Structure 1
């Protein structure tokens, strides 16, 4: 098992076709390929599955883990069209397609930020394929805000969201990976990250083009993920009659739910003390323990 744990993940390419277009979803496969998949882990907006390699690899001696690249990220080739996007139904449906390829017992579905929310939305569509959910600071606004985001007028206001503006200003092309690593290390969202984790992000986060090394997740696609918020995670929480464990950042959280949610006895919410939105990177032991506890 030590050899399996220390070996790099295998890269799978799964065909996906739905109303959002056809292509291949790239999936990192950790652990013993002879056992069924135990856990599916989904990354945050702008990142990719490889970003979480050092979080997931230590679990692969015991668990088999699939970590997909969402549409518009990493090595996944599914088409992207930022225009007129309203919500994350495309990510939901892509994950439903991934769940449909699994022929073993129901899996633990987990994710960080947008990956957590997209996992929740997919689980609500495929309850028979999911045993539990572990959501790490998922993007779940308050109920009133979620209702307002479904109004057409909010489409015209999306460009004013600070995260949208920041994503659109993001540098998209670098001369070398070393230049990119220097640009990210210790700055912005990457502040405090281990250098190896930033290098893993860049390994699948940059692609060679005629322009140079370009972000696999284009700034306009990252921005559209921040702007498209008409999906309803509260409705999904009600539909998912499976244990849902939410780990919420103490500072800078994107997750509105708090402990003791009325009418949702299957949902537990815990605060990661001292944790920011990026606690899976900065407090990987907390995130890893939560995944292990759910899957064994």
Structure 2
């Protein structure tokens, strides 16, 4: 366990070419490179794979884990066209390409928030490559909320949606990572984050600007586009992918509108992580780590 904590993950570059454009997906590779991949873990909107390094590294003593940077995040260089974008089919197809790049036994796919939903969509496309899913507060709306997110009206009202407005108003750059750390520590969404997690987020979440200083690797407009592009159908994906699916949702502020016993989805188990909010993987790594270990081992 201590060796896993001290050994940094390898950095891989996976070429991706699909209908959404060509580029390279940056991937962190934890564990023994000589064994097949056991787990793929996908980050939330606006973050990056390295944000979850301290969560995943202790598991690397018993499994091999791939953690990709999604399109528009971290060190991934895939194009990010927002005009006419309607859903997360680009993230889905990027993840299926990653699955195809690493043949072997079926893997566990897991993810947080958008990363959980994108993993679900990818599993529905490649069910033979995914043994089970573990999703941490995935974005899954139901009823009127789901219908609203899929209507053109939503885009006309985009600037009135708090989470979209907040993304677009996000401070785009800093003079240094130290300045960003001072600005974020203990505030807003970062309240309660351990310093190592916040430092890891900033290590890949800020990139050199064309001038002086650093800018967000995930551009505010792309983050906002991910909130708005809800034309994909996670419910259809849950009906298509019939492997064991475990959903852990936050106790407060959850964006997972899946009941504990969803009708017709006996393979889907839903539970609430007590005392948690939407970003609980950053502050309660123990809950996430236990769930991943149970799924793989």
Query: Is 1:4–1:32's contact at 8 Å kept on the other side of the alignment?
Result: no
TM-score calculated relative to the size of structure 1 = 0.98
1:170 is aligned to 170
Shift of 1:143: 3.2
2:276 is aligned to 275
Write out aligned runs for 1:50-65 (5 A): 50-65=50-65
Spell out, residue by residue over 1:249-271, the C-alpha distance to the aligned partner (whole angstroms, 9 max, x if none). 00010111121111100000010
1:155 is aligned to 155
Shift of 1:186: 0.4
Query: Is 2:4–2:57's contact at 8 Å kept on the other side of the alignment?
Result: no
Shift of 1:2: 5.2
1:139 is aligned to 139
Is 1:107 the counterpart of 2:107? The answer is: yes
205-214 or 128-137, which moves further after superposition?
205-214
CA distance in 2, matches of 1:175, 1:161: 30
Is 1:291 the counterpart of 2:292? The answer is: yes
SS at 1:34 equivalent: coil
Shift of 1:148: 3.2
User: Which consecutive unaligned segments of at least 5 residues does structure 2 have?
Assistant: none
CA distance in 1, matches of 2:115, 2:278: 13
1:248 is aligned to 249
SS at 1:60 equivalent: helix
Write out aligned runs for 1:183-198 (5 A): 183-198=183-198
SS at 2:41 equivalent: strand
Spell out, residue by residue over 1:163-191, the C-alpha distance to the aligned partner (whole angstroms, 9 max, x if none). 10000000011001100000110011100
CA distance in 1, matches of 2:190, 2:152: 34
CA distance in 2, matches of 1:210, 1:14: 25
User: Which consecutive unaligned segments of at least 5 residues does structure 1 have?
Assistant: none
Corresponding residue pairs, total: 296
1:208 is aligned to 208
CA distance in 2, matches of 1:18, 1:293: 34
SS at 1:57 equivalent: helix
1:230 is aligned to 231
1:37 is aligned to 37
CA distance in 1, matches of 2:196, 2:177: 13
Query: Is 2:5–2:54's contact at 8 Å kept on the other side of the alignment?
Result: no
SS at 2:93 equivalent: helix
SS at 2:199 equivalent: helix
Shift of 1:149: 2.4
Q: Structure 1 segments of 4 or more deviating over 4 A?
A: none
Spell out, residue by residue over 1:134-160, the C-alpha distance to the aligned partner (whole angstroms, 9 max, x if none). 000000111332233223333322332
Query: Is 1:40–1:109's contact at 8 Å kept on the other side of the alignment?
Result: yes
2:68 is aligned to 68
TM-score calculated relative to the size of structure 2 = 0.97
Query: Is 2:109–2:130's contact at 8 Å kept on the other side of the alignment?
Result: yes
261-270 or 150-159, which moves further after superposition?
150-159
CA distance in 1, matches of 2:82, 2:181: 27
Spell out, residue by residue over 1:170-215, the C-alpha distance to the aligned partner (whole angstroms, 9 max, x if none). 0011001100000110011100000110000000111112332111
CA distance in 2, matches of 1:162, 1:89: 24
CA distance in 2, matches of 1:136, 1:4: 23
